[in-house]
Chains A and B, each alone.
Chain A
Amino acid sequence: MRDTIVIGAGLAGLMGALALAEAGQRPLVLAKGQGATHWTGGTVDVWGATDGANVREVVAQMIAAHPEHPYARVGMVGIEAALDRFRALVETAGYPYVGSLERNMLVPTAAGALRPAAFVPTTMAAGALKAGERLLIAGFRELRDFFPPLIAANLRDQRITARGIYLNLPPIKRRLDFNTRNFADLFDDAAFRQDVGEQLRAARSTATRIGLPAVLGLRDAPAVVQELQAISGAQIFEIPTLPASVPGMRLFNIFKVAIEQAGGRMQIGSEVVRTVGSGDWLTTVYSTAAARQQEHRGQRFLLATGGIAGGGIRTDYTGTVWETALGLPLKAPEARAAWFAPQFLHENGHPIFRAGVVTDACLRPLDAQGQVVYQNVAVAGSLLADADPIYERCYSGLALATGWHAGQMLAMLER
């Protein structure tokens, strides 16, 4: 029914599906489960440049020095085009991002560390601190893994004036157990926002900015932030939580609507496990289904199943490393002994995390001899070789840039 298949529903797959849908291809997005969006913090990390360095220049230098890096396949122009499209998408959806490639913002994490990001949703913008700010970090005891006193103590260690407190849940809102989603639903309720806003005003004292867990609603988070600012009298910002990430859910929802409106369709819960090809042309993929696999014959396939963390690459104790969906050849350390650097926090990261699919400039997969494996497949995101997205702090930037590029390349493909 649909001859353009996207495999994977993280940022890379979603961005690729958007590119394909906007080019008129009616993509079908297949994914094993809910995408990596729900695991990530919702910031756009292009490169982990710190000390005020110009991100654009740092990436351009890296591309010149490492032509094998996936960013080099896309090029600076392609990277910026993808970021522009992403920002226009979220802006249209009423969930704008701020930032630039001139310099990273440093925003607090749930551990109280400062994390570089090129773009953040406006709901997190006030987390980028200026000198002389006084912070109040507030949370709820009922939300696990978010400890305001710990965050504040770690910020103080970095010479940031910060204090951590717990807020009280209005008695009527009590449940036995809470997750991030429950809190997001609570913040979509006006009475709850009013109650929290008043507690923040009372607790604010001299604080100029207030950090809250990133659960400030699923429907219209920027409006929730504005309302809390108006009531409390301080700048409000969200701090990403542990999964499941509410900012990630917002992004997933925005992409889903945009892809479906452009003629695409999503099918979550269907893992691609088998393929049929003819020479250098992939003809069919099969996804898991009840009783028998579902057949998807296609002309174009975009593969964005992630790296080792996302499930696109599997390893075993014998040292075998394989790509899970299409069985593509991988570039990986030869022996298991070469997977890891001697120190856990080694300055160059661990070689195994650079394992992945090598591609040409169109992001088509290559074999060890440099021949294109399938002319009608493009690969995007953390599955690509020669990048370590978590270590390089380019996880979301790489996903957006390569996803957009792969989608555009595939859309132009003609047999």
Chain B
Amino acid sequence: MTTSHDHIELSLEQSLDHCIKCNICTVACPVSAVTDLFPGPKYVGPQAQRFRHEHQPVPDDSVDYCSGCRVCNQVCPTGVKIAELNARARAQIVAERGMPLRNRLIARSGLVGWLGCGPQARWANAALTSLTLRWIMEKVLGIARAAPLPHYSTYSFRSWFRQRASRTAATTLGTTKRVVYFHGCATNYYEPHVGQAAVAVLERNGYEVILSEQNCCGLPLLSNGDFRAGKRYHAANVRKLFPYAQQGIPIVGTSTSCTLTLKDEAPELLGMHNAEVRAVAENTYDIFEFLRGLYERGELNTEFQTVERELPYHPPCQLRAHGIGRPALDILELVPGLRLAESNADCCGIAGTYGYKLEKYQIAMDVGQGLFAFVRAAESDLALCDSETCRWQITHGTGVTTRHPIEILAEAYGVAEGERGVEIAQV
């Protein structure tokens, strides 16, 4: 292992001893429920960890089948950090054996997004719906040909924001309240409408939205075990975001996985905890968490229009790992007429890049069955979920358009840009 024995490492090691072998994680794990390839969190986490050592080869590969959904952490009654143990064990495998080309590619979502987003999106999207090309991608790279690749947007969120800024440069909001918007790769390259809704909602609440420089949060690298690159990515983001954090300007994101990475995943997994990293983490908010804070201080604009809809809502694993409850439910229940039915499914299966991998695609689909059944049973033409790959997976598994809950909130403010879910490349 490349990281030194910092305090996080120590607390992980000690947390092994808190495992009382009650098997609550084993019965909660959505992956081991559907495949023999993953023996469950207790085995690959606190038990196998006793056989891992930084100077010895990794004794067992099955930890690679952990999807990183963190359900085990959530249910553990004694506080064992199982998901972190697994992520570090995977990184040790990658450090020993290197990373396959496929993983190196799909872990760079910024690069993949940049390649296809813009005027060339038409061609890129046509290519991704081409059965031949997807078949080749599957054979050569090991990217499942049926996996839900989103359509590229013909314009990036950043380009939209810049053009808009130049159009509206003269009009000031007359406000001193400012937030930094962390859009992440998905909003920038595939779903700019999510960012547009976020900007509209924040402005409705009297905030000037700052589009800071930013790069991919690096979560796909972390979940694929490339900690070295992940560290570079996170350090770069900290450099770009710290000046705002230092001024106490909140960093607000719509991607629950990006915000979780800034808050917790990167510092915790990479052992980065200097003052700058901490300041960025402590100033980062999921957008509904931020809005809930406004509401609790009596500052939320609650002039909502009635939205007569009943919609299925799935709180994604990465949101639950924030440990902040379901802030989207808390806020959206303030909208007159809107009723959300919460899924009780643990996971949609896709878990970031996991469900795109040929050898894991079917596992991801099997994990998602409970959620898919819930969404189908709701007989709604629209579902809501805070995390991008989860939205694409739900649409892939059910055919139901899935949007970010911020888009519904923008609608309630009367500032929606129309019904728009991302197209999923179906082959």
Contacts and interface: CB of A to CB of B under 8 A. Distances in A.
Contact of A268 (B26, B75, B79): B75
Contact of A289 (B26, B40, B73, B322): B322
B78 A311 contact: yes
Interface stretch (A76-84, A98-106, A177-185): A177-185
Contact of A292 (B75, B77, B282, B296): B282
Interface stretch (B92-100, B102-110, B126-134, B323-331): B323-331
Between B73, B76, B260, the greatest number of chain A beta carbons within 10 A of the residue's beta carbon is seen for B76
Contacts of B123: none
B151 to A, nearest CB: 31
B323 A287 contact: yes
Interface string B290-322: 001001100000000000000000000000111
Given A1-B292, A181-B27, A291-B281, A33 B40 contact: no
Nearest to B342: A260
Interface string A245-274: 000010000001000100001011111000
Contact of A34 (B28, B263, B320): B28
Between B27, B75, B282, the greatest number of chain A beta carbons within 10 A of the residue's beta carbon is seen for B27
Interface residues of B, number: 38
A176 interface: yes
A249 B326 CA distance: 22
B173 interface: no
Contacts of B323: 269-270, 287-290, 294
A297 B330 CA distance: 15
Given A1-B296, A32-B79, A33-B75, A244 B325 contact: no
Contacts of A1: 292, 295-296, 330
B296 A290 contact: no
Nearest to A145: B23
A268 B74 CA distance: 6
A268 B28 CA distance: 13
Contacts of A270: 323, 325
A294 B324 contact: yes
Nearest to B79: A32
Contacts, number: 99
Contact of A33 (B79, B326, B344): B79
Interface residues of A, number: 38
Contacts of B24: 33-34, 38, 243-244
A243 B27 CA distance: 10
Given A1-B295, A177-B36, A289-B324, A38 B22 contact: yes
Contacts of B264: 290-291
B206 interface: no
Nearest to A310: B77
Contacts of B76: 33-34
B284 interface: yes
A311 B20 CA distance: 12
Given A1-B292, A33-B75, A290 B28 contact: no
A35 B295 contact: no
B33 A181 contact: yes
B260 A34 contact: no
A35 B75 CA distance: 8
Contact of A290 (B32, B36, B322, B344): B322
A64 B324 CA distance: 45
B314 to A, nearest CB: 15
Interface in B2-44: 22-24, 26-28, 32-33, 36, 39-40
Given A1-B295, A291-B264, A180 B39 contact: no
Contact of B39 (A36, A176, A268, A290): A176
Nearest to B322: A290
A35 B28 CA distance: 13
Interface string A1-40: 1000000000000000000000000001000111110110
Given A1-B330, A244-B27, A33 B77 contact: yes
Nearest to A266: B325
B58 to A, nearest CB: 20
Nearest to A36: B77
B23 A244 contact: yes
A352 B39 CA distance: 38
Contacts of A176: 36, 39
A33 B324 contact: no
B40 A177 contact: yes
A346 interface: no
Contact of B23 (A35, A243, A265): A243
Contacts of A297: 296
B78 A33 contact: yes
Nearest to A257: B344
A175 interface: yes
14 contacts: A33-B74, A33-B76, A38-B77, A175-B36, A177-B32, A185-B33, A244-B23, A249-B27, A265-B326, A265-B329, A270-B325, A290-B263, A292-B281, A311-B78
Given A38-B27, A177-B32, A290-B323, 7 more contacts: A34-B24, A39-B77, A179-B40, A256-B344, A267-B326, A290-B281, A294-B325
Interface of B: 22-24, 26-28, 32-33, 36, 39-40, 73-79, 260, 263-264, 281-282, 284, 292, 295-296, 320-326, 329-330, 342, 344
Interface of A: 1, 28, 32-36, 38-39, 175-177, 179-182, 185, 243-244, 249, 256, 260, 265, 267-271, 287-292, 294, 297, 310-311
**Which 6 interchain pairs have the tightest Cβ spacing?**
A289-B323, A269-B74, A181-B27, A291-B263, A290-B264, A33-B77
